[in-house]
Amino acid sequence: MKTSTPLLVIILFLFQMTYSQSSESNEMESLLNEYISSFNALEAENSSSKTLKLFSDRYSGNTTYVKLSGGVIKKTYSKKDIKNQLDDIVQDDEYRININLNKILYTNKKDKAGTISALLDFTSYIDDKEAEKGTMLFNIVAVNLDSHWKIFQNNMVRISETKEIGDCVCHVYNKDNYKYIAELYYPAGVTYDHKFESFQFTSTATKNLIKTKGATFEWNKSSWDISLNGKVIGKGTTRQEAIELITKINFSEPCKSIIFR
């Protein structure tokens, strides 16, 4: 049986077109998979260099965080911001995050640029306890620089699906008899952030006071009531208890519970 020349030409054309599209898709998918692999290996590598080399020096990105409560936070990142974020993950022994490819939604590649859209799942941990699970929608624009594909732009939407709060860790340090510093690790988007709060215990002729950066609390040594603007917020019989009470109130939104050390 003979195959006509026109039909053969059409078959060859369709094969070449399919192969070309598959090859183009594979390059974009390979870049995304390399990013996922290097990101998940940050702790083992103890370095952000492998992940960072995948980004163009002119990188810019937008990230929108959608909280479980419906609140929205939007942030813009440069390559320097990405480096700082990755370095924080590497240096923080108490925090880690794992991301996995869920589904590739779209790919397209030209000679000098390409795009890929994908859904990623993430889980974050603090002190080996699960802190948050959710989904990331990646829309990546990549450019071909000296035969190497680099991430030029990424518009990401991160959606918290199971938690927007987690277990926080707070270290309390006594500088002298009256001054204390609390260092709190708390959920902040994709990573855990940390914040310092100072506590100074003073007294006047009529009052005992606890001063922080943002407020001054009254501490009644007879009833052990701690008040802010005339309203009792709780009790504390020791300075440590007073610090723990104020910290729990100040960080009630991001912290499901706080482990004090």
Per-residue pLDDT 10s for the chain (261 aa) are 444 555 554 544 444 544 444 445 589 999 999 999 999 999 899 999 999 999 999 999 999 988 766 778 899 999 999 999 999 999 988 888 999 999 999 999 988 999 999 999 999 887 777 778 899 999 999 999 988 999 999 999 998 877 656 778 899 999 888 899 999 988 765 566 788 999 999 988 778 999 998 899 999 988 999 999 999 999 999 999 999 999 999 888 778 789 898
What pLDDT is stored for residue 189 in this prediction?
A: 57
Burial class (CB in 10 A: 0-12, 13-18, 19+), 15: exposed
Beta strands 166-174 and 255-260 are parallel
Asked whether residue 175 falls in the same domain as residue 117, the answer is no
Asked whether residue 87 falls in the same domain as residue 134, the answer is yes
Helix, strand or coil, per DSSP, at residue 211 = strand
Asked whether residue 124 falls in the same domain as residue 189, the answer is no
Opening angle at CA 187, ends 163 and 182, nearest 5 = 140
Asked whether residue 128 falls in the same domain as residue 245, the answer is no
User: What is the phi/psi pair of residue 240, to 5°?
Assistant: -60, -45
Tell me, what DSSP letter sits at residue 254? T
Asked whether residue 143 falls in the same domain as residue 222, the answer is no
Segments forming the whole domain that contains residue 26: 5-160
Asked whether residue 145 falls in the same domain as residue 201, the answer is no
Q: Give per-residue burial for 97-113: e unless 16+ CB within 10 Å, then b.
A: bebeeeebeebebeeee
d(CA 43, CA 32): 19
Asked whether residue 76 falls in the same domain as residue 53, the answer is yes
Asked whether residue 149 falls in the same domain as residue 177, the answer is no
**Do 119 and 102 touch, CB atoms closer than 8 A?**
yes
| Nearest alpha-carbon partner for 246 in 193, 201, 204, 194 | 201
Asked whether residue 20 falls in the same domain as residue 54, the answer is yes
Domain edge (last residue) among 134, 160, 186: 160
Q: Give per-residue burial for 203-240: e unless 16+ CB within 10 Å, then b.
A: eeeeebebebeeeebbbeeeeeebeeeeeeebebeebe
Asked whether residue 152 falls in the same domain as residue 38, the answer is yes
What pLDDT is stored for residue 205 in this prediction?
A: 77
Extended strands (E) in the chain: 55-66, 72-78, 95-109, 113-126, 129-145, 148-160, 166-174, 179-188, 191-203, 208-211, 216-219, 225-228, 231-235, 255-260
Q: How many domains does the chain have?
A: 2
Q: Output the domain CATH number for residue 72.
A: 3.10.450.50
What pLDDT is stored for residue 163 in this prediction?
A: 66
Compute the Cα dihedral for 252, 197, 125, 155 and give only its sign.
Answer: positive
Asked whether residue 204 falls in the same domain as residue 154, the answer is no
Domain edge (last residue) among 118, 139, 160: 160
Helix, strand or coil, per DSSP, at residue 44 = helix
Asked whether residue 83 falls in the same domain as residue 171, the answer is no
